[in-house]
Copies of this chain bind each other. A is one copy, B any other.
Amino acid sequence: MPASAYESLCAHARETALLTSTAGLLQWDEETYLPPAGGAYRAEQCALLAGLIHQRQTDPRVGEWLDELESSGSTSDPRSDAAANVRGLRRDYDKKTKLPPKLVEELSRTASLGQQAWKEARQADDFTLFQPMLEKTIELKQQEAEAIGYEASPYDALLDDYEPGETAANVARVLGGLREQLAPLVEKIAAAEKRPDGRVLSRHYPVARQEAFGKRAAAAIGFDFDAGRLDVTAHPFCGGAGPRDVRITTRYDDHEFAGALFGTLHEAGHGLYEQGLPAGDYGLPLGEAVSLGIHESQSRMWENLVGRSQAFWRHFFAPFAEAFPDALAGVTEEAFYFAVNESKPSLIRTESDEATYNLHIIVRFELEQALLADDLLVADLPEAWNAKYREYLGIVPPNAADGVLQDVHWSAGLFGYFPTYTLGNLYASQFFDQAGSDLGDLEGQFSRGDFQPLRDWLRTNIHRDGRRYSAGQLVERVTGKPLSHEPLMAHLSTKYGRLYGFD
């Protein structure tokens, strides 16, 4: 094996990671502590680093090293670490070099203008202000798909950016199966007579105590504050500046604790994944996350399957009620658990609940596929949007701002991104079922405040392999089955059936 080519390739990738992680710090700082007047210069710093990073990622030497390694047969054992790294780096290199620079530039400019147009359109509640830029964006994304190449549909090429190796057909199969069963369940929940009292959620929860409790919960599930931080930003995220430097954020509202607390658990779930990746392989495929969907499976699992579970609150309700004695005076654990799991059809994706959320995603997934396949004209998008909301959720947005214009994604050119959210929920449930089989009484463990078995299971089965496997391979490997809508559907049916009294 020509060690020098492999060593050069890895050293190059690791050095690039020093720059991408530095860019990560610039971005984190921009969201947290950058003085207002520093924004313009920060943009220049980010642009320079992005340029240096792109230069390194498309360095022809990378292609030469890869060619040499592939032709020498040194990566013929696909199970070897080297083969996994070479596969991953080959994919990245091809992705970065396949697009003509002119198209990259135009995509970037259009994304910037598109977001401006989208903001204006949303403010004016007028889709037509955004329509020309969206048409342009779709045209460019179609060109991008052609340049990247695909087997079955252009959508595959775009999906691959976020979910490497995944296909539109397979996602359609699973999301389709989910939709068929979820829409009736959501209808059933909406029609149930038993309802939670959601008013408890909007009582007064002093922010300092929310912060203390959120940190306690994040630490309890295993987020390592020696190798990470929790700060406040307008838009919560999980970022970082290195393998042992994972930075999550949340935002507080003293009359709404759920957003901050479940948001913290969500980002801590992302953070646990980042902290669980092999630090020694940072910058190499073996030290990187599999896909957005797998990343989201980790955040959704800790937020929903753990954080919104009855067992979690069996452990945490008492200290929570102690931290907020006024807000929770006279509230039972059962009533509280029901309140944090209220479900009902609503207009806004980001404010929806564990069950309805997925229908919001399915609407978007179906529409963006149709747009890219030229089966739907942009001019007809608002109507199609509203029709799908009526069909799947039983409600119709009263305006474009709360309907087709609510998300930034399409304006930024992010086509193929939406399904990763629901894929996250699907992976999460399938993994969680397997963890339950392997570990026994998860509920009992959570009730005792013991989250270590699950965390260790995730480390062993998901985190430590980096992106050695694709998401599909990983699911099959860990659970013995291909991805299916059934575990999530079973979870939601059981949970909401019990809560709303129709099980």
Question: 1/0 per position for A479-495, CB-CB distance to B under 8 A?
Answer: 00000000000000000
> A29 to chain B: which residues have CB within 8 Å?
25, 29, 241
Interface residues of A in 1-56 (CB under 8 A from B): 15, 18-19, 21-22, 25-26, 29, 33-38, 40-42, 44-45, 48-49, 52
Which residues in B have their C-beta under 8 angstroms from that of A225? 35
User: Is the CB of A192 closer than 8 A to any CB of chain B?
Assistant: no
A244 contact set on B, CB distance < 8 A: 35, 37-38, 40-41
Find out whether the CB atom of B243 lies under 8 angstroms from the CB atom of A35. Answer: no
Report whether over half of chain A's contact residues are helix, strand or loop; otherwise say mixed: helix
> Residue of B at shortest CB range from A34?
B245
Q: Tell me the smallest distance from the CB of A412 to a CB of chain B, in Å.
A: 24
Does B22 contact A22, Cβ atoms closer than 8 Å?
yes
A108-B40 Cα distance, complex, nearest whole Å:
35
When C-beta atoms are compared, the residue in chain B nearest to A243 turns out to be: B41
Q: Which chain A residues have a beta carbon within 8 Å of chain B's beta carbons?
A: 15, 18-19, 21-22, 25-26, 29, 33-38, 40-42, 44-45, 48-49, 52, 224-229, 231, 241-246, 282
Bound together, the chains give a CA A423 to CA B225 distance in angstroms of 44
Give how many copies assemble into the complex.
2
| Interface hub of A25, A34, A35 (most chain B Cβ within 10 A) | A35
The 10 closest A-B pairs by CB, nearest first: A38-B245, A41-B242, A37-B244, A37-B227, A18-B48, A37-B226, A36-B226, A18-B45, A38-B244, A38-B242
**Are the CB atoms of A229 and B35 closer together than 8 Å?**
yes
Chain B residues within 8 Å of A33, by CB: 33, 229, 231
Q: Give Cα distance in the complex from A15 to B51, angstroms.
A: 12
- A228 with B44: CB separation less than 8 A: no
Residues of B within 8 A of A246 (CB): 35
Q: Which residues on the B side are within 8 Å of A52 (C-beta)?
A: 52
**Docked CA distance A241–B52 (Å):** 19
Residue of B nearest to A228 (CB): B35
Q: How far is the CA of A414 from the CA of B13 in the complex (A)?
A: 36
A to B CB contacts below 8 Å, 22 in the list: A18-B44, A18-B45, A19-B48, A21-B45, A22-B22, A25-B25, A25-B26, A33-B229, A33-B231, A34-B241, A34-B245, A35-B226, A35-B228, A35-B246, A37-B224, A37-B244, A37-B245, A41-B245, A42-B241, A42-B245, A45-B241, A52-B52
Chain B CB within 10 Å — which of A15, A25, A227, A231 has the most? A25
Separation of A18 and B37 alpha carbons in the complex (Å):
16
Which residues of B sit under 8 angstroms from A40, Cβ to Cβ?
A: 244
Which residues of B sit under 8 angstroms from A245, Cβ to Cβ? Answer: 34-35, 37-38, 41-42
Residues on B with beta carbons closer than 8 Å to the beta carbon of A26: 22, 25
